[in-house]
Amino acid sequence: MNRKLILLAALVFIMCPLWAQDTAVFVDLGFSADGRTYSFGQYGINADNLRPWAEFCVVDVASNSFVPGGRISYIHDTPVAAGNDGSGALYRIISRNTALADRYNIGYLLQGHPLYVSLENGVIFGNETIEFRNFEKGESYRATLTGTGYNLPSGSSFYISLEKRNRDGSTRNYTVGNAGIKRPGIVSYRIRKVLVAPGTGSLIFVIEMKRQNAGGSVDIRYMVETLRL
């Protein structure tokens, strides 16, 4: 009996840290055929009450903003069942908002082609510079994320400076994002992925945001910054 109690206590000790952090999972839901709109979702389990949650979003790529009514959130009213990862919350919200995806011609099979994927962890304060290539078009890119105001009560912000070098050696510079938007509680931004739309000039920067919660641990959420080349 004592051996069983010790084993049970060990399992509880191992499992508890898994709920101490609310970590979102990013889901690429695809582009429209012309690459002008993009859809993504994210889901997770609230660390405080174990309720699964999800967001379903549709973005206008050229304006780098949500389409009208293009950000829908859902929190389930009961805790997640044992063994579930919370993804059912995303499936539910997508199935109940098919009209939004149809209105903007989102193709779930037209997912982005990854040009860059970061496997790094930890917190980044300040700037991050990455380089990646589009081998099909012979283009290379250098992107610098500049973050400011991490310790200010008004919130932090960031923007991305992007240099694109074409096959012929010519270059063009872009600024992606809005440094004027302040996000309270965000302690770090990281470029987690860069996606390109199939056959079009639409770029998606998937940004991981780390947020300090009331309990002292760090939650993870995602957003996107978009660019129509």
Residue-wise pLDDT for 59-68, tens only, equals 999 999 999 9
Burial class, 119, CB count within 10 angstroms (exposed 0-12 / middle 13-18 / buried 19+): exposed
Cα dihedral 163/168/169/170 (nearest 10): -60
**pTM, to two decimals:** 0.88
Q: What is the average pLDDT across 98-121? A: 95
Domain assignments of the chain as residue spans, ordered by start: 1-111, 112-229
pLDDT for position 64: 97
Which token pair is 65?
């903003």
Phi and psi at 49, nearest 5°, equal -125, 0
> Does the structure show a pLDDT above 80 at 146?
yes
Q: Which of 18-22, 40-44, 182-186 has the lowest mean pLDDT?
A: 18-22
Specify the range with the lowest mean pLDDT, choosing from 17-21, 101-105, 184-188.
Answer: 17-21
Residue 150: pLDDT band with limits 50, 70, 90:
confident
Angle (nearest 5°) at CA 35 between 183 and 103: 85
Q: What is the pLDDT of residues 169-197, one digit of tens each?
A: 999 999 999 999 999 888 889 999 999 99
End-to-end CA distance of the chain: 66
